[in-house]
Amino acid sequence: MIDVQNLTKRYGEVTAVRGISFTASPGQVTGFLGPNGAGKTTTMRILTGFTPPTSGTAKVAGYDVFDQSMEVRKRVGYLPENVPLYRDMTARGYLMYLGEIRGVRNLRRKADEVLERVGLANRAESRIRTLSKGMRQRVGLAQALLHDPEVLILDEPTIGLDPYQVLELRALVRELGRDHTLLFSTHILSEAEQVCDRVVIINQGQIVAQGSPAELRQELERGGRVLVRVDAPPASVVPVLQGLPGAGSVDVQFDNVVVTPSSPDIDPRPEIARAIVQQGWNLIELRPVAVNLEEIFLELTRQEAAQTDDAQAYATETETAAS
């Protein structure tokens, strides 16, 4: 369980994280999604007790990250960005070292177990220097798993891996998410969509949206654009649809017609279906234009930019659009 309330982190003049609040539940993969420099790493460093927050609170596994830092650290497994490792140590030696500091019981057996779990059992005695990037990433993950933590925090674990390794790692993250509270950051949208049960989108240190990928999609699809396919030339379809109440603009995309409703609250589909049937055409397809996380993300971060540029103008604009 991770519970973040109004967390803020300032570095002198720069505010990296501005009053964010979110929770991550056990048995779920929570994706922390945002462009580079959005404040993901800073937030994770606060959650792992590496750096203290400027204000606000964060509880990890029921303990405050600042006041009960040692308790938090005992219960968190952390894979930092870029996976810093001792290159001269063997994979097992590295785990033994960290395990000794942590006071892990049955350390030798435990180290072999996690190496097995991340698929490195056959490279246990190899020096980390000689391991590939993907293998190093897995040593880092093994280190995070060594003490059976309740909470796992992984900072961009798939960065710099080849596509095959990325797939493997995503599968492992999903699997680990079942019995851990797992917070995982990424700037790759499709990755968040595939791996996460919940997504928290962060931009410029603020949370711009959170929910399951499906919820986020629904939110943006509601009153969104509708794609229409009819077995008639689009040129003759457009005027008909333009005449419908609630149809804002009608565009042609290849053989399809895309209708954007005049207000996001209007679902134009019933009207469109009726009109087409009345014309005696065959309706082949009528569906919302698929919105993926990428579009949601771009949409939200664009809104964010608009707000910071000129919040007033943006507010007026949306009001006008809604009425």
Partner 1 sequence: MRAIFAVFKREVGLYFRSPIAYAIAFALLLFLGVLFNGYVVQANSRFPADPTFAPSLLTFLTFLIAPLLTMRLLAEESREGTLEVLMTLPMNESAFIIGKFLAAWFYYTMLLLVSAIYYLILTQIGVPDQGAAFGAYFGAWLYGGAVLAVSMIWSAITEDQVVAAFLGAATILVLYLADVAAIWIAGQGTTSSATADFVRELGLPAHYDATLARGIVRAEDILYFVFMMIGALFITTRIVETRRWRA
45 binds partner 1 (CB under 8 A): yes
User: Among residues 76 and 173, whose Cβ is nearest to partner 1?
Assistant: 76
**What one-character DSSP code corresponds to residue 90?**
B
How far is the first Cα of the chain from the last one, in angstroms, to the nearest whole number? Answer: 42
Distance, CA of 195 to CA of 286 (rounded, Å):
29
Indicate the burial class of 45 (C-beta count within 10 angstroms; 0-12, 13-18, 19 or more): buried
The label of the residue with tokens 């190496």 reads: 115
The single residue among 74, 117, 229, 269 that binds partner 1, judged by CB under 8 A, is: 74
**Minimum distance, C-beta of residue 98 to partner 1, in the bound complex (Å):** 7
**What one-character DSSP code corresponds to residue 289?**
P
> With contact defined as beta carbons under 8 Å apart, do 47 and 311 qualify?
no
73 binds partner 1 (CB under 8 A): yes
> With contact defined as beta carbons under 8 Å apart, do 264 and 277 qualify?
no
User: Among residues 45 and 138, whose Cβ is nearest to partner 1?
Assistant: 45
> With contact defined as beta carbons under 8 Å apart, do 322 and 262 qualify?
no
User: Among residues 127 and 269, whose Cβ is nearest to partner 1?
Assistant: 127
User: Among residues 111 and 201, whose Cβ is nearest to partner 1?
Assistant: 111
The DSSP secondary structure of 249-279, one letter per residue, reads EEEEETTEEEEEESSTT---HHHHHHHHHHT
92 binds partner 1 (CB under 8 A): no
Q: What value, to the nearest 5°, has the Cα angle with vertex 184 and ends 71 and 65?
A: 25
Binding segment for partner 1 (CB under 8 A), chosen from 79-87, 205-213, 266-274, 291-299, is: 79-87
**Minimum distance, C-beta of residue 65 to partner 1, in the bound complex (Å):** 11
**What one-letter code names the amino acid at 93?**
G
51 binds partner 1 (CB under 8 A): yes
Q: How many residues belong to the site for partner 1 (CB under 8 A)? A: 26
Distance, CA of 256 to CA of 236 (rounded, Å):
12
128-187 positions binding partner 1, by CB under 8 A:
143
User: Among residues 85 and 258, whose Cβ is nearest to partner 1?
Assistant: 85
User: Among residues 155 and 191, whose Cβ is nearest to partner 1?
Assistant: 155
Indicate the burial class of 164 (C-beta count within 10 angstroms; 0-12, 13-18, 19 or more): exposed
Query: Which tokens is 78 given?
Result: 């952390």
280-319 positions binding partner 1, by CB under 8 A:
none
Binding segment for partner 1 (CB under 8 A), chosen from 21-29, 86-94, 163-171, 254-262, is: 86-94
The single residue among 22, 78, 184, 297 that binds partner 1, judged by CB under 8 A, is: 78
Number of helices (H), then strands (E), belonging to the chain: the values are: 11, 14
99-138 positions binding partner 1, by CB under 8 A:
100-103
The single residue among 20, 60, 98, 118 that binds partner 1, judged by CB under 8 A, is: 98
Classify strands 283-288 and 226-230 as parallel, antiparallel or unpaired: antiparallel
**Minimum distance, C-beta of residue 48 to partner 1, in the bound complex (Å):** 4
User: Among residues 129 and 274, whose Cβ is nearest to partner 1?
Assistant: 129
The single residue among 82, 194, 279, 307 that binds partner 1, judged by CB under 8 A, is: 82
84 binds partner 1 (CB under 8 A): yes
The DSSP secondary structure of 185-241, one letter per residue, reads EES-HHHHHHH-SEEEEEETTEEEEEE-HHHHHHHHHTT--EEEEESS-HHHHHHHH
- Interface residue list for partner 1 (CB under 8 A): 11, 45, 48-52, 70, 73-74, 76, 78, 80, 82, 84-88, 97-98, 100-103, 143
